[in-house]
Amino acid sequence: MGLEIKNLSAGYAGQAVVKNLSFSVKEGQIVGLIGLNGAGKSTTLKQVIGLKQPLAGSLSLDGQTLTANPAEYKRNLAYIPEQPVLYDELTLDEHLHLVLAAHQQDDAAHWDKVQELLALFRLDGKGHWLPQHFSKGMKQKVMLVAAFALDTPLLVIDEPFLGLDVLAQKQLITLMKEKADNGTAVLLTTHLLAQAADYVDDFALLEDGEMTYFGSAEGLATSRQLTVDHLDDLFS
């Protein structure tokens, strides 16, 4: 079923900056939410992850609405924020155990996957480290390990590539595709449009808080007389 957004309006102090937004991210689908700075991407993601209640409209995830069942709705999604969020006093392992517990996922059943992801991002052997020992990119990788270790119907990623080295960027794209292949709905924001064309199924384009396009990379490029290779010129 995945994520369904219907007639969503969202904003601040009662003023809508995202207006009448409707689209869905189905099981196994990767959708890239794109737009210029201030277009409303982060505001939309804040609604999707249940940080704020909508001004109007509704969100549902596998049939659960945010309004009717906020706890269940939030447990069903994994979220990778743009800025890593770690607790100063928790070691890497403690953080990962906490994330699994918060999502009510069986710790023992997921720990092998955690180890595999730690090794992939070259964080193995660092389970006892505190956040102060990690570089910015390493902190971002901790967020990736935590989110990809979870089994949730929805994965939400805000600006996934910031601070990641080229190797980690490639690994992240592979992981996103694997998640989608296993039936997870994936919603991400990115400014790297030509790169995203290689792995998203659809783009949702926001302009001044309104969705002006939803569909394939090819369709988006054609609508602006561009080729997919030149999608980064979309806003030129």
Q: Which is nearer to ligand ATP, 43 or 64 (CB)?
A: 43
The distance of closest approach from Cβ of residue 27 to ligand ATP in the complex, given in angstroms and rounded to an integer, is: 26
Joined together, the tokens standing for residue 70 give 């906020």
Residues 78-97 close enough to bind ligand ATP by CB under 6 A: none
The distance of closest approach from Cβ of residue 146 to ligand ATP in the complex, given in angstroms and rounded to an integer, is: 22
The distance of closest approach from Cβ of residue 129 to ligand ATP in the complex, given in angstroms and rounded to an integer, is: 30
Q: Which is nearer to ligand ATP, 79 or 134 (CB)?
A: 79
Q: Under a CB-based contact definition with an 8 Å cutoff, are residues 231 and 198 in contact?
A: no
In the shown chain, the binding pattern of residues 15 to 54 toward ligand ATP, with x for contact by CB under 6 A and - for none, equals: --x-----------------x-xxxxxxx-----------
The distance of closest approach from Cβ of residue 235 to ligand ATP in the complex, given in angstroms and rounded to an integer, is: 11
Distances (CA, A) of 74 to 91, 114, 174, 177, 189: 24, 21, 25, 22, 19
Residue 206, phi then psi, degrees to nearest 5: -105, 130
Q: Which is nearer to ligand ATP, 8 or 100 (CB)?
A: 8
The distance of closest approach from Cβ of residue 168 to ligand ATP in the complex, given in angstroms and rounded to an integer, is: 21
Joined together, the tokens standing for residue 27 give 């099981």
In the shown chain, the binding pattern of residues 118 to 157 toward ligand ATP, with x for contact by CB under 6 A and - for none, equals: ----------------------------------------
Q: Which is nearer to ligand ATP, 38 or 63 (CB)?
A: 38
Distances (CA, A) of 151 to 182, 197, 223, 231: 10, 25, 37, 32
The distance of closest approach from Cβ of residue 150 to ligand ATP in the complex, given in angstroms and rounded to an integer, is: 24
Q: Which is nearer to ligand ATP, 4 or 159 (CB)?
A: 159
For residue 71, the one-letter residue type is A
Determine which residue in the list 1, 7, 12, 167 makes contact with ligand ATP, applying CB under 6 A.
Answer: 12
Catalog residues that contact ligand ATP under the rule CB under 6 A.
12, 17, 35, 37-43
